[in-house]
Amino acid sequence: MNRRGSLAMPAWSRLTAIKAMHTLAWAFFAGCIIAIPLASWRGDHRAAAWLAAVVLAEVLVLALNQWNCPLTAVAARHTEDRRANFDIYLPEWLARYNKQIFGPLYVAAVVFALVNWARAFALIPPTDR
């Protein structure tokens, strides 16, 4: 209990929980991006489309939040630290360049899935080798 008699968590503990949630969310979306071309390659175009849609929803959330995760603002209330990874359990370089790395990977994954889908439905003729 704190001095007011409540069971409130201390700031460092809340920050730890926020960082853990943020890291899990990041891993989920990074996994979705990696899974898009894999699902498409396996011929599971429906799964690839759903994965792309889930990531697109996250992109829209980020765009509406000035390209920041909403959890970043929540974490910022509990620390003065403003390093690139203050709000997530990632190496600082990855936290800093996350969008520059995973943005193009997402676009490439979606393009791959679209081309693969078009080939599967004969919208793009096969190439002669």
Q: Could you read off the pLDDT of 100-116 as tens digits, one per residue?
A: 999 999 999 999 999 99
This prediction has a pTM of 0.83
Which segments of 42-121 does DSSP mark as H helices, in order?
45-64, 70-76, 92-96, 98-120
Considering only CA atoms, which of 64, 66, 49, 63 is closest in space to residue 110? 49
Position 112, amino acid: F
Pairwise CA distance, residues 31 & 103, whole Å: 13
pLDDT tens figures, 25-80: 999 999 999 999 999 999 999 999 999 999 999 999 999 999 999 999 999 998 88
Query: Tokens in use for 124?
Result: 């793009």
